[in-house]
A and B are shown apart, each in its own frame.
Chain A
Amino acid sequence: MELIKPGINLDFIGKRRIAFCLSAALVLLSLAVFLFKGPKYGVDFAGGSVIQVRFSGPLDIVKVRDALRAIGIEGATVQSVGDPRESEYLIRTEAFTGKPGSTDTELPPRLQEATGLSVEIRRVETVGPQVGTDLREKALLAIFFALIFIAIYISGRFEFKWAQSALVAVVLGGGVYAVYSFGFSLVVLIWVALVGTLVLFWVLGLKYALGAIVALIHDVTITIGVFTVLEKEFTLPVVAALLTIIGYSLNDTIVVFDRIRENLKKLSRSPLAVVINRSVNETLSRTIITAGTTLLVVVALFFLGGEIIHDFAFALLVGILVGTYSSIYVASPIVLSWEERARAK
Chain B
Amino acid sequence: MKRLSLRLAIVAAVLAAAVVFCVPTFFPGLTRLEWLERKRISLGLDLQGGMHLVLEVDTAKVVENAIGRIQQELREAARRKQIANLRLDRPSPFKIEAQVQGSENVARFKELLEKDFRDLRIQRLAEEPERHHFILDLPEAEAEQIRKLAVDQALETIRNRVDQFGVAEPDIRRQGERRILVQLPGIRDTQRAKELIGRTALLEFKLVDETHDVQAALQGTVPPGSEILYKVEEDPATRRVTRTPFLLKKTALLTGASLTDARVQLDSQYGEPYVAIEFDRKGARTFERITEENTGKRLAIVLDNKVYSAPVIQEKISGGKARITGRFTLDEARDLAIVLRAGALPAPVTVLEERTVGPSLGADSIRAGILSIGIGSLLVFAFMILYYKWAGVLANLEVLLDVVIVCAGLAAFGATLTLPGLAGILLTIGMAVDNNVLIYERIREELRNGKTPRGAVDAGFDRATTTILDANLTTLITALVLFQFGTGPIRGFAVTLSIGVVASMFTAIVVSRLVFTYFLDVRRVRRISI
Residues of B within 8 A of A130 (CB): 56, 352
Residues of A within 8 A of B54 (CB): 131
Decide if A301 touches B426 in the complex (CB within 8 Å): yes
**Would you give the shortest CB distance from B421 to chain A, in whole angstroms?**
11
Interface string of B417-442 (1 = CB under 8 A from A): 00110010011011101100110010
**Would you give the shortest CB distance from B372 to chain A, in whole angstroms?**
4
Decide if B474 touches A250 in the complex (CB within 8 Å): yes
Residues of A within 8 A of B420 (CB): 237, 240, 309, 312
Known A101-B351, A122-B361: A294·B431 in contact at CB below 8 Å:
yes
Interface string of A229-242 (1 = CB under 8 A from B): 00000001100100
A282 at the interface (CB under 8 A from B): yes
Residues of A within 8 A of B431 (CB): 248, 251, 290, 293-294
A167 at the interface (CB under 8 A from B): no
**Would you give the shortest CB distance from B45 to chain A, in whole angstroms?**
11
Interface of B is mostly: helix
Residue of chain A at shortest CB distance from B429: A297
A244 at the interface (CB under 8 A from B): yes
Extra A-B contacts (10), CB below 8 Å, given A123-B356, A254-B470, A289-B437? A100-B351, A104-B190, A130-B56, A135-B487, A244-B427, A244-B478, A286-B434, A293-B434, A297-B372, A312-B420
B463 at the interface (CB under 8 A from A): yes
- Please tell me which stretch of B34-42, B63-71, B223-231, B376-384 contacts chain A, meaning at least 4 of its Cβ atoms lie within 8 angstroms of it: B376-384
Interface string of B172-189 (1 = CB under 8 A from A): 000000000000000000
Decide if A100 touches B354 in the complex (CB within 8 Å): yes
Top-10 shortest CB links A-B = A300-B376, A297-B430, A306-B368, A142-B485, A297-B376, A247-B475, A304-B372, A247-B478, A250-B474, A294-B430
A58 at the interface (CB under 8 A from B): no
Decide if B438 touches A240 in the complex (CB within 8 Å): no
Residues of A within 8 A of B426 (CB): 297-298, 300-301
**Would you give the shortest CB distance from B485 to chain A, in whole angstroms?**
4
Decide if A286 touches B427 in the complex (CB within 8 Å): no
**Would you give the shortest CB distance from B376 to chain A, in whole angstroms?**
3
A255 at the interface (CB under 8 A from B): yes
Decide if A123 touches B190 in the complex (CB within 8 Å): no
Decide if B423 touches A285 in the complex (CB within 8 Å): no
- Please tell me which stretch of B116-124, B260-268, B311-319, B489-497 contacts chain A, meaning at least 4 of its Cβ atoms lie within 8 angstroms of it: B489-497
**Would you give the shortest CB distance from A1 to chain B, in whole angstroms?**
5
Residues of B within 8 A of A313 (CB): 423
B101 at the interface (CB under 8 A from A): no
Interface residues on B, range: 35 or more
Q: What are 21 A-B pairs at a CB distance below 8 A? A: A101-B194, A122-B357, A123-B356, A124-B354, A130-B56, A135-B487, A139-B485, A142-B484, A146-B477, A240-B490, A244-B482, A247-B479, A255-B467, A258-B467, A286-B434, A293-B434, A300-B375, A304-B371, A306-B419, A309-B419, A312-B420
Interface string of A113-146 (1 = CB under 8 A from B): 0000000111111111011000100110110011
Decide if B437 touches A301 in the complex (CB within 8 Å): no
Residue of chain B at shortest CB distance from A216: B474
Residues of A within 8 A of B463 (CB): 262
Q: How far is the CA of A154 from the CA of B475 in the complex (A)?
A: 13
Q: How far is the CA of A1 from the CA of B473 in the complex (A)?
A: 30
Known A122-B357, A122-B361, A248-B475: A304·B375 in contact at CB below 8 Å:
yes
Q: How far is the CA of A120 from the CA of B355 in the complex (A)?
A: 16
Decide if A236 touches B486 in the complex (CB within 8 Å): yes
**Would you give the shortest CB distance from A119 to chain B, in whole angstroms?**
12
Interface string of A73-84 (1 = CB under 8 A from B): 000000000000
B387 at the interface (CB under 8 A from A): yes
Decide if A1 touches B490 in the complex (CB within 8 Å): no
A153 at the interface (CB under 8 A from B): yes
Decide if A296 touches B354 in the complex (CB within 8 Å): no
Interface of A is mostly: helix
Interface string of A259-293 (1 = CB under 8 A from B): 00010000000000000000000110110011011
Q: How far is the CA of A292 from the CA of B426 in the complex (A)?
A: 14
Q: How far is the CA of A300 from the CA of B380 in the complex (A)?
A: 11
Instruction: Point out the residue from A1, A145, A295 that lies within 8 Å of B386, measured CB to CB.
Output: A1
**Would you give the shortest CB distance from A228 to chain B, in whole angstroms?**
21
Considering only residues 313-334 of chain A, those with a C-beta below 8 Å from chain B are: 313, 316
A6 at the interface (CB under 8 A from B): yes
B448 at the interface (CB under 8 A from A): yes
Instruction: Point out the residue from B351, B356, B364, B375 that lies within 8 Å of A306, measured CB to CB.
Output: B364
Known A300-B376, A301-B372: A150·B433 in contact at CB below 8 Å:
no
Residues of A within 8 A of B434 (CB): 251, 286, 290, 293-294
A23 at the interface (CB under 8 A from B): no
Decide if A127 touches B474 in the complex (CB within 8 Å): no
**Residue with the highest number of chain B CB atoms closer than 10 Å, among A149, A237, A296, A297:** A297
Decide if A296 touches B430 in the complex (CB within 8 Å): yes
**Residue with the highest number of chain A CB atoms closer than 10 Å, among B190, B426, B448, B494:** B426
Decide if B354 touches A101 in the complex (CB within 8 Å): yes
Q: How far is the CA of A149 from the CA of B483 in the complex (A)?
A: 14
Considering only residues 138-196 of chain A, those with a C-beta below 8 Å from chain B are: 138-139, 141-142, 145-146, 149-150, 153-154, 157
Q: How far is the CA of A138 from the CA of B368 in the complex (A)?
A: 29
Instruction: Point out the residue from B190, B441, B473 that lies within 8 Å of A153, measured CB to CB.
Output: B473
Decide if A124 touches B355 in the complex (CB within 8 Å): yes
B76 at the interface (CB under 8 A from A): no
Decide if A128 touches B353 in the complex (CB within 8 Å): yes
Instruction: Point out the residue from A52, A145, A303 that lies within 8 Å of B484, measured CB to CB.
Output: A145
Q: How far is the CA of A127 from the CA of B479 in the complex (A)?
A: 25
